[in-house]
Amino acid sequence: MRCSEVCELLSSYMDGMLPAEEMKAVDEHLSLCPDCREELRQLEETVAILRNLGEVEPPADLRDSILNKIQASARKGEQVVSIWDRLKRWGSLGGLVAVAACLLFVAVVVSPRFSGFRMGAGMSSSTEEIAEGESGFLAADMPHAGQGLEMEIFNGAQDGALEAPRQMLDMDSAPEVERKVIKRAYLSLVVEDLEEDFERVVALVEEAGGFVQSSSTWENERQRTSNLSVRVPVDRFANILARLEELGRVKGREISGQDVTTEYVDTEARLRNLERQEERFLEILNRANTVEEILNIERELERVRGEIEALTARLKSLDELTSLSTIDIELKQLKVSAERIATPGWQGVFAEAYQAAVSTVNSILNFVGELIILIGRILPFLPLAFLAWLGYRRYRKNRKEAEE
């Protein structure tokens, strides 16, 4: 099972939702692959952090606050006189023509110039709503805090809510971000000398500034096989792959890449946002007056710092995965060479003939020994077989006499 397949199954593996065969296959792969074990560990840490997040309750005065805003909006609407009512009061065709001309002028000339302004205003209103929502939840955690301290927390949450749209606008105007790609390759080679080519692979990888992550070797009646998982610098990836292919006959080759640029940029933006929130909460903590205020702010700080640690670990993992590419190499050596004819010489012939003679004698002795053991197993049944034969013979004799 490949690493890419195992990574896709890790979530179901943690939940125990995989069939028994796939669970066993994933367990075996995890025991051999440090990369996949690290990916599973990070996933478990992320899940643990999310499970430890405290439940946030809405403020007790949320309903009254919403009703007050609705009533205030309704009163403001009553004060605005409808344009159609004004047109009805004008009652003259000249007034209608003048109003229509003004509207046409605004739509054609003024509107395009201020379309960008309206878009920014819409975005501002959306972010203000987000900030209001976050500030409400923070206020719920501090029901008895002072009004000044609540305003400070509101401002800190509003800064965090407004940060994401600003970062998105900065990304649009900023230069192109460095692309982050996780590169992997699989290479299967048939070689003539497994030990020698194994050492050549290790030397080639270490010379390029990489390292061997894991390796294993086994053999059967037909061939010997070595598997290596190596990590090499991403800028030497193509060169190393080409030089590895020169070691033997290529039986299989696979290259894959996963673009994590969007995830990396998004994670960086979230991390900067949380760091600003942490600084803001520390400033508020220095001005807290009561024990309850201090405890509530420290609880928020603990939550923010937990998220910062998780995002920092994820960025570090992405940096490692993108700076070092992974190459899985399979080296196979056939016990009977298909590439060249080898002449062992007379010394080799006599040695093999002697080994064959010894093997034949041992086989004969083993056969004789097995035959003796078989006879020993049959002996206890011989008296019973003899009695059965006598009974059958007597039966045949009596039957023959009866027929005569």
Is the model's pLDDT at 167 over the cut of 70?
no
SS3 203: helix
Instruction: Give residue limits of the domains in the chain.
Output: 3-52, 176-337
d(CA 150, CA 139) in angstroms, rounded, equals 6
Phi/psi for 281 (5° steps) reads -65, -35
Q: Helices (DSSP H) in 257-290: which residue ranges? A: 261-286
Task: Write the DSSP assignment of 297-325 as a string of letters.
Answer: HHHHHHHHHHHHHHHHHHHHHHHHHHHEE
Q: What is the pLDDT of residue 17?
A: 79
Q: What is the pLDDT of residue 32?
A: 77
The model's pTM is: 0.41
Nearest of 254, 253, 252, 248 to residue 190 by alpha carbon? 248
Is the model's pLDDT at 186 over the cut of 60?
yes
Is beta strand 181-190 parallel, antiparallel or unpaired with respect to 324-334?
A: parallel
In terms of Cβ atoms closer than 10 Å to its own Cβ (0-12, 13-18, 19+), residue 69 is: exposed
Mean pLDDT of all residues in 231-240: 92
Mean pLDDT of all residues in 263-270: 92
Which stretch of 79-88, 102-111, 136-145, 332-341 has the lowest confidence by average pLDDT?
136-145
Residue pLDDT, tens place only, 334-344: 875 545 555 55
d(CA 252, CA 227) in angstroms, rounded, equals 14
Which stretch of 122-131, 138-147, 176-185 has the lowest confidence by average pLDDT?
122-131
Q: What is the pLDDT of residue 114?
A: 40
Is the model's pLDDT at 212 over the cut of 80?
yes
Q: What is the pLDDT of residue 54?
A: 61
**HSE on the CB side for 314, CA within 13 Å?**
23
Is the model's pLDDT at 241 over the cut of 50?
yes
Asked whether 251 and 190 are in contact (CB, 8 A), the reply is yes
